[in-house]
Structure 1
Amino acid sequence: MQIEALKILFAQSGLKFTNQRYVVYKAMVAARDHPSAETVWRRVREEAPAISLDTVYRTLAALEARGLVTRVPAGGDEARFDGDVTAHHHVVCLRCGAISDFTMTGATLTDLPPTVAAWGRVRDAQVLVRGICHKCLGPNDNTQPN
């Protein structure tokens, strides 16, 4: 994304454009692995060596509040984030923590029951599937996920 377009996007979202926000957002848009804040911090330090972990956390929170990134409810202690804000869902491995995207019909905002619409204004929705991925399953692994 061009810097000028990003400045406009930030302004429309009520965010001041800063170099720290730029590098964090750029890293999130490029990421496909649903990184944690600490992972984002390690990735952006090369381009912004003075950026603190706290700044990355605050930036991700500001981007999330404005719908520019999403938090993936993966469970565990570490928050994970997604820079792809198009409508999609997630599958999470309970052993290694890997997160993958998927889409499916019948699971969009227009498919929600009327009780959800009556609840208030919905910004987004996602299906979260949790289990154990093939990489973590052994050939004879019959254990149940936690």
Structure 2
Amino acid sequence: MTIEALKELFAQSGLKFTNQRYLVYKAMVEARDHPSAETVWRRVRGEAPALSLDTVYRTLAALEARGLVTRVPSGGDEGRFDGDVGPHHHLVCLRCGCIEDFTMPGAGLADLPPTVAAWGRVRDAQVLVRGVCRKCLGQNDNTQPH
């Protein structure tokens, strides 16, 4: 996405375009690991050394409120975010915290029951599958998932 297209996207979303917001959004769109705010901050501070962690948190909250990123309910203590706002779902490992995307036919907005439409306006929906990933299952330890 060009900077001009991103400026337009921000304007349509009611956000002022700033270099800091650009860097945070760019980091989110490029990320495939569903990073926390702290991880995003570490990734962009080389390009913007004055960028504070608080600014990253506030930027992610603003992007999330406008549907430009989503928060993945991982069950851990730190918030994790996804820059891919297209329809997809998440697998969350309760041991290592790894989050992976997956798609599932029949689990989109059009497939929701009528009671959901009666509830109000739905922006997005996702299936969250939590358990223990294959990598963690292969480790011989007695750690139980939370």
TM-score, structure 1 normalization? 0.96
Which residue does the alignment assign to 2:2?
2
Which residue does the alignment assign to 1:41?
41
Which residue does the alignment assign to 1:88?
88
Over the residues paired in the alignment, what is the CA RMSD in angstroms? 1.5
8 Å Cα contact 2:95-2:144 kept in structure 1? no
Whichever residue aligns with residue 73 of structure 1, its letter is P
Q: Which runs of 4+ in 1 moved over 2 A?
A: 138-146
Query: What does 1:124-135 correspond to in 2, within 5 Å?
Result: 124-135=124-135
Which residue does the alignment assign to 1:69?
69
Q: In the TM superposition, what whole-angstrom CA distance separates every residue of 1:51-88 from its partner, at most 9, and x where no partner exists?
A: 00000000000000000000001011100000000000
Distance 1:76 1:141 in 2: 20
Identical positions, percent? 86
Structure 1, unaligned runs of 5 or more: none
Q: Say if 1:139 and 1:75 are closer, same or farther in 2 by CA, change over 3 A.
A: closer
Counterpart secondary structure, 1:25: helix
TM-score, structure 2 normalization? 0.96
Distance 1:43 1:11 in 2: 25
Q: In the TM superposition, what whole-angstrom CA distance separates every residue of 1:126-146 from its partner, at most 9, and x where no partner exists?
A: 000000011111377798633
Distance 1:96 1:80 in 2: 13
Which residue does the alignment assign to 1:31?
31
8 Å Cα contact 2:108-2:125 kept in structure 1? yes
Which residue does the alignment assign to 1:136?
136
Counterpart secondary structure, 1:81: strand
